[in-house]
Amino acid sequence: MASSPNCFVIVIFAVLLQILFVSASTKSIDAICQKVTDKAFCVKTLSAYPPAVSATTTFQASQAALSLSISYAGKPAAFAAKAAKENPNLKKQFAGCQNAFMTIVASLRSASGELKESPDTANYDVMVCRDSTTMVKSLVGKNADMASKTIVNMTLMMEKILAIAVGAIEAVGG
Kindly report, residue by residue over 13-40, the tens digit of the pLDDT: 554 445 444 444 588 999 999 999 999 9
Total tally of structural domains belonging to the chain: 1
Poorest-pLDDT segment among 12-21, 56-65, 124-133 = 12-21
Cα separations (Å) of 39 from 15, 64, 163, 172? 29, 17, 10, 17
Could you tell me the pTM of the whole model? 0.84
Please write down the long-range contacts of 42-50, taking CB distance under 8 Å and 24 or more positions apart: 42/163, 42/164, 42/167, 45/161, 45/164, 46/164
Amino acid at 21: F
The answer to whether residues 147 and 83 touch, using CB atoms and an 8 Å cutoff, is yes
Output the pLDDT for position 1.
Answer: 46
* Predicted confidence band of residue 50 (pLDDT cuts 50, 70, 90): very high
Output the pLDDT for position 17.
Answer: 46
Residues of the chain above pLDDT 90, percent = 81
Q: 129: closest CA among 69, 62, 63, 46?
A: 69
Q: 116: closest CA among 52, 172, 58?
A: 172
Longest dimension (CA), the chain: 78
Domain extent, residue 15, equals 3-172
Mean pLDDT (the chain, rounded): 89
Q: 122: closest CA among 87, 77, 167, 76?
A: 167
Q: Between 99 and 22, where is the model more confident?
A: 99
At 89, which CATH number? 1.20.140.40
